[in-house]
Amino acid sequence: MATIVAEATGQAILHEEHEQSFLRKYIFSTDHKVIAIQFLIYTLFFLMIGGLLAMLMRYQIAWPARGELPLGGIFPESMVASGYILPEFYNALVTMHGSVMVFLAIMPMLVGVWANYLIPLQLGTHDMAFPRLNMLSFWAMVPAGILTLASFFVVGGAAGAGWTLYAPLSARPDLTGVGLGQILWLVALVFIGLSSILGSVNYITTTINMRAPGMTWMRMPLTIWSLFITAILALLAMPVLSAAGIMLIFDQTIGTSFFLPEGGGQPLLWQHLFWFFGHPEVYILILPAMGFTSEILSVGSRKPVFGYKAMVLALVSIAFLGFIVWGHHMFQSGMNPMLGLTFTVSTLFIAVPSAIKTFNWMGTMWRGNLQLHSAMLFAIGFVAMFAIGGLSGVFMASTPVDIYIHDTYFIVAHIHYVLFGGSLFALFGAIYFWYPKMFGRMMNETMGKIHFWLTFVFFNLVFFPMHGVGMVGMMRRIYDSTGYAHLQGIEDTNAIITWAAFGLFASGFLFAFNFFWSLKKGRKAGANPWNATTLEWQTPSPPKHGNWEEVPVVYHGPHEYSHPDVEDKDWLAQNERPDVVSPAAGSH
Amino acid sequence: MAHAATAGRVPERGLDVYTQKVGMWVFLCSEVMFFAGLIGSYVVLRFGAADTWAVPNEVLNVPITAFNTFLLICSSVTMVKAFAAAQAGDQRGIKVYLLGTTLLGATFLGVQVYEYVELVLHQSWQGSHGFTPAAGLYGATFFTMTGFHGFHVLLGVICLAWATIRAWRGHWGADNTHGIEVLGLYWHFVDLVWIILFTIVYLI
Amino acid sequence: MSEAAGGHAAGGADDHGHEHPKYMLIWLYLAILTALEVGVVYLDIAQWLIITSLLIMAGWKALLVALYYMHLKFEPNRLRLVALAPLPAVAIMIIAIMMEYV
Amino acid sequence: MKQRGRALNSHLRNSFWYGGKSMRSHFWNRSAALLAVVAMAACGGGGGSSEGAADDAGEAAPAAAAVDPSTVGTISGMANFGGMVPTMEAIDMSAEADCAAGYGADGPMAQNVLVSNGGLANVFVYLSEGVSGAPAASGAAELDQVNCRYTPHVLGVQSGQDIEISNSDNLLHNINATPTENRGFNISQPRAGITSTQRFQVAEVMVPVRCDVHGWMQAYIGVVDHPYFAVTGADGSYSIANVPAGDYTMTAWHEEFGTMTASVTVTAGGTAMASFDYSGEMMGADVPMGDALVLEHGTNRIRVERTQ
Amino acid sequence: MDWALPPNYSTFGVVIDQLFWIILVITGIAFLLVEGGILWFCLKYRGREGAKAHYTHGSNRLEIIWTVIPAIIIAVLGAYSALVWDDIKGSSNRPADALEFLVVGKQFEWNITYPGVDETLGTADDFTVRNQFHFPVNEDITILLESEDVIHSFFIPELRVKQDAVPGMTIPVWFDATQTGNFEIACAELCGLGHYYMMASVTVHSAADFDAWQASQAPAAAQ
């Protein structure tokens, strides 16, 4: 992977003036931009791995009786036998698809890549508060990735207890057939926790203490706000997962029984601890995406963000509510029904800030001058898909309906509308949007648009029908649905979903091609190809080590587009002095 | 591009506290959550299986641990004394107090190792020989919590030793107190956690 | 956190450190409280009384360390906010999980 | 189920995945396992123990060494059964119609004690003492699943020998082997025709094997270090050929009657006889075995009923 | 391609389905509003050369409107959901004189213990049947749900019943079937490699048929 990083960054920092060894410059770099690009390569790789796991899974769901897995022969007998994916391998696929996507792809891509890249640039500072910790936060992810990949090849295969790792299934190897694989994943999880905590300390401290002069809280771009809030969530939630994960490792290895009822332990304790982390995690996975979307929509609509303060308030309240709703994952778990009542109410109320955000995004587009480039298309796609994901969430927030919906494909549809239609759409948008800043070249627009439409169409073909399959009652994580009487008649739907999933996966390669092709062949981008106002666009692309020749001073809010008093252009950079541009253009 | 030529302007105020200190406090927040996860589990598990807990002093050696607690409290006071000495530019004070803190921390660890060895090898519990992490929830929670605290002490002692070496090289002084203060914050936090652990694990 | 534009200072920004708290006095306090704690365990009084008093003393000691040794007493409010931030989360977690036993 | 039903022991549960001899229930060994994992993680290595790393050692020799007929003899004998034959329980396979169809009008019965003409089937007999040096394992032992039952019910293998497990039922079986000395496995075979090859590296009598999908499915695999073992047939007879001349102790193991031993002297070219006598009164004997992880119904459960 | 809830056969199912459809209508309207709005904006405000966007930082009135309206809808929905939830799962609403069964999940079977003719669990005439759940129609049924090994989830789609079975706990679940019929219990919580195969048949009998069935089973179990 090292060589890829080198290639990618070679473009980025070609004009680097510092005398540094190759190793210090590209591998063990403390420059936040290089670390961000390392994270980007890392996460794109794991995005592909996660996708691959999903494809195998979909094949099994669509054609459980067929066998004949294409290229099935390359798998060892313990995974695929006679062309059939074995149930234990299927469980590993389900588990590791979720785990890889959440912990090694989406989360580090949202936070590791963009918090690293954008926080110093958008705040107008030269680097993170603790550059060496920042480097460590990337290098803690590397063993995590290696352990995860290795876990597939140990005796017993990779973890197979679901990404939620419910004990006792995850704690007793004799019940799953998975021994070392589970432990390796848990150790990887501890590394991920470490990485995430180190990263968060950096992001929070930098945001609090290192803003450029004039960059007041209410002049911070919404991206920064969302990343800041996300870092707080990660800081407070990840350690709980680490603690729980370590207890689970002990259960597996040294004979404790924290989560095993035979020894007096409590399976529900695991669920409480996991979801105490898990629900904030859900917001860790969506808040940055909301930030990117706000930013891209504003730039693409040439309008200020509609209701900036409400957006900030909504972020803060989502984060706060995020800590008191975890029980809604456990309505059917046997926990105290009284808790169910409390959690229903708090959960439903989290819909309110989400609704505010959705309407405000629409407000941002309203009467705008929409530039429908790839980044903007993905941002609009985010709003459209997130709305569906949010609305389907109302079904399971309502406890009685959740009795039926819980652990069916309806949930699968919901989380994918939020995590893929939401987070990943916004991430694609973010990559199209900030790619020119990272590498100095634009990504190819035509390929970008084709990528968007393919992704959009296939995505909906994959996940919308899952609502229907869920209504019929198809359970999650099920290896073969054909044996159930109530699941007769959904085979065609499952096959369509699988074909569409193959299409969705394939369209990812178009993106990958575009990404690498544009490194060399992309149109050269100037400092500010989008005519955007935030600080990162006011320095050359790619920015040099240290980001600024002189520290910028901020005079305006973050999204001053189409200001009536500015005549020659429709934007007003945050660091443009009011008296230089126009005497009346000073904003709040 | 209208770059305002204003080099040297101060950044936004933030917390009015230097960055390393903010960073340490933010990090301590995550540490609080980590120990909250462990302690929370302890409380819940204990409520669920109260009858499997031994009464204080039956298994665990309270007097020696009380002495250990006292050691840690002393190390906290030497730590703040080191900071005060640094602020006053008292080089000798810095060296003496940092060294003292390191030694007290190391002694704490030594006593804890002794305690563990005694428990695992010689203590009997519920009819079986040796009180190990596999000895029911009581053993599991005891070793997990005190073990992780001990791990934090170990990290602290390593950092303290490093700071002490630097003290002998004259690194610290009235103009360079931040490192000692930040390390002190961590050390006091470890002390604070022990105060709580000592109470709920050994005494209640 | 949502402070008005302009970054005006909220709360007193004390310059810490110009007046040392009496570190040795606090140390004495802590040592005595520890001795008391150990002593209370051997008292022949109601269990709930022992537990309550132990918790109060532990909290007291923790507070002393945080306020004096960790200088929270002399820090600006904004930093105190950071230090207190995780406590609600801790409280919520423990209370909710304990409700399993209600 | 007597001794086997002993409350699930968390030590065993954890140890048996890490293989090795007598890892059971020793804290330090398991701590070492944990340390190894952590160390591996710390090195960023991981995944060291890939499939087969441990297995290669036990690769069967290409062909068993040629036997010199002038130095070997045969052991044969009977497992005799006297007295009242215990009635076997009927197995309720009604929820698995495809399997139930494979049985006659009486339906499937349990196989714990199979007696015909005074002979007891499914007794595992092996030389427990006196064997020095033995040819390496060759060929594969077979364990099939037919009509929701293991065939054979009791299987003997040599340590390191391939065990080919196959499924003749077109439905899901899982094969959960829970040894204490060897590394266990828990695999599944969702359709007919799927096979899997497993091995046990260390001698262990017996390794219980069960299917969690069909609670009645139980098999036992006896693992010994040499090829001198047999399982009595339906008539209770057995025969072990090519045994080097010498004095031996033989052990017979039965799932209900426990073990008994006999001394036997094998002469070159001769046939030594060793028979074992069982009776219905012996039901409930102590059955030595790697603890099967069988949770009994109604036991070992904590009842936490919610009241408000 | 039949995307619908399976037919409902239980008393609770009526409310659950009703709530499902109510939410579907509400979210459907919101869906049309949002997606329609986005599409309309995309077409209408599509960028043109020289055009300038309308400069606004928002509208407090609008924002309050779209905060308050969802909040009200949500509050009503929440209150209604909470009431129904309490009705279905609240311990105080557990039927007092229900017929009780013990259902024990284990990898990968459901073992159902029947109370026998005396209709009481824990007596000598109890008997256990693997993977077959028979019970009478139009009667309050309470199952005591347990698990031997890992977490399973007891799910009968047609009865709109789902409850995790947690080892170490006994969780009561109650329902009342309104029609006779044959269904299946599915396991809805990943429980290992045989998770998908952990199904049991459910037969809802008329009261007389149930007694007859139980009588036919009891002697076999008494052996």
Dihedral sign from CA coordinates of A187, A191, A194, A196: negative
Per the CB < 8 Å rule, is A218 touching C85? no
Query: How many interchain CB pairs under 8 A, D with E?
Result: 64
Per the CB < 8 Å rule, is A217 touching C2? yes
pLDDT at D50: 36
Per the CB < 8 Å rule, is D92 touching E194? no
- Model confidence at D62, in pLDDT bands (50, 70, 90)? very low
Q: What is the C-alpha separation between A193 and A32, in angstroms, rounded?
A: 20
- pTM recorded for the entire structure: 0.89
Q: Are E144 and E171 in contact (CB under 8 A)?
A: yes
Interface of D with E (CB under 8 A): 89-90, 92, 94-95, 171-172, 174, 186-188, 190, 212-215, 295, 297, 301-308
Per the CB < 8 Å rule, is D11 touching B134? yes
Q: Return the residue matching tokens 């030529």.
A: B5
Q: What is the C-alpha separation between A449 and A373, in angstroms, rounded?
A: 7
Q: What is the C-alpha separation between A237 and B37, in angstroms, rounded?
A: 10
- Model confidence at E220, in pLDDT bands (50, 70, 90)? low
**Which pLDDT tens digit goes with each residue over E161-208?**
999 999 989 999 999 999 999 999 999 999 999 999 999 999 999 999
pLDDT at A84: 92
Which residues of chain D make contact with E149, given a CB cutoff of 8 A? 295
Question: Which of B1, B3, B128 best tests the A interface by mutation, with the highest count of A CBs <10 A?
Answer: B3
Number of domains in chain A: 1
pLDDT in tens, chain A (588 residues): 333 333 333 333 334 445 677 777 788 889 999 999 999 999 999 999 999 999 999 999 999 988 888 888 899 988 999 899 999 999 999 999 999 999 999 999 999 999 999 999 999 999 999 999 999 999 999 999 999 999 999 988 999 999 999 989 999 888 888 889 999 999 999 999 999 999 999 999 999 999 999 999 999 999 999 999 999 999 999 999 999 999 999 999 888 889 998 888 899 999 999 999 999 999 999 999 999 999 999 999 999 999 999 999 999 999 999 888 888 888 888 888 878 888 888 888 888 999 999 999 999 999 999 999 999 999 999 999 999 999 999 998 899 999 999 999 999 999 999 999 999 999 999 999 999 999 999 999 999 999 999 999 999 999 999 999 999 999 999 999 999 999 998 999 999 999 999 999 999 999 999 999 999 999 999 999 999 999 999 999 899 888 888 889 999 999 999 988 888 888 999 998 877 655 444 444
Cα–Cα–Cα angle for A34, A37, A38, nearest 5°?
85
Per the CB < 8 Å rule, is E170 touching D215? no
- Model confidence at D121, in pLDDT bands (50, 70, 90)? very high
Structure tokens at D108: 């499937």
* Phi, psi (rounded to 5 degrees) for A376: -65, -40
Average pLDDT, chain D: 75
CATH superfamily placement of domain E99-222:
Cupredoxins -  blue copper proteins (2.60.40.420)
Chain A nearest C-alpha distance from C19 (Å):
25
Which helix (H) or strand (E) element contains residue B97? Answer: helix B91-122
Q: What is the mean pLDDT of residues D83-98?
A: 85
Per the CB < 8 Å rule, is C89 touching B195? no
pLDDT at D291: 36
Non-local (6+) Cβ contacts of E82 within 8 A are A341, A344, A345, A399
pLDDT for D307 beyond 90: no
Which residues of chain B make contact with A200, given a CB cutoff of 8 A? 26, 30
Q: How many CB atoms lie within 10 A of CB B199?
A: 23
Q: Which residues pair with D109 in a beta bridge?
A: D90
Q: What is the C-alpha separation between B60 and B41, in angstroms, rounded?
A: 20
Per the CB < 8 Å rule, is B38 touching A254? no
Higher pLDDT, A131 or D70: A131
Which residues of chain A make contact with C85, given a CB cutoff of 8 A? 232, 236
Q: Is D299 on the interface with B (CB under 8 A)?
A: no
pLDDT at D173: 94
Domain coordinates in residue numbering, chain E = 11-47+55-91, 99-222
Neighbours of chain C (3+ CB pairs under 8 A): A, B
> In the CATH scheme, what architecture does the domain B19-203 have?
Up-down Bundle (1.20)
Find the domain containing A577 and state its range. 532-588
Tell me what percent of the residues of chain B surpass a pLDDT of 90.
73
**Which pLDDT tens digit goes with each residue over E74-110?**
999 989 998 898 888 888 889 988 999 999 999 999 9
A 186-205 near D (Cβ less than 8 A): 187-188, 191
Q: Is B140 on the interface with D (CB under 8 A)?
A: no
Q: Mean pLDDT highest for which of B168-177, D106-115, D283-292? A: B168-177
Q: Is A485 on the interface with D (CB under 8 A)?
A: no
pLDDT at D132: 82
**Is residue A561 assigned to a domain?**
yes
Chain E nearest C-alpha distance from A222 (Å):
14
Q: What is the C-alpha separation between A263 and A275, in angstroms, rounded?
A: 23
pLDDT for D99 beyond 70: yes
> In the CATH scheme, what architecture does the domain E11-47+55-91 have?
Orthogonal Bundle (1.10)
Q: Are A426 and A382 in contact (CB under 8 A)?
A: yes
Judging by DSSP bridges, how do beta strands B124-125 and B128-129 pair with one another? antiparallel
C 9-68 near A (Cβ less than 8 A): none
How buried is residue E189: exposed, middle or buried, by Cβ count under 10 Å (0-12/13-18/19+)?
buried
Q: What is the C-alpha separation between A84 and D193, in angstroms, rounded?
A: 10
Task: Report residues of chain C scoring pLDDT below 50.
Answer: 1-18
Buried/exposed A290-304: b ≥16 CB within 10 Å, e otherwise: bbbbbbbbbbbbbbb
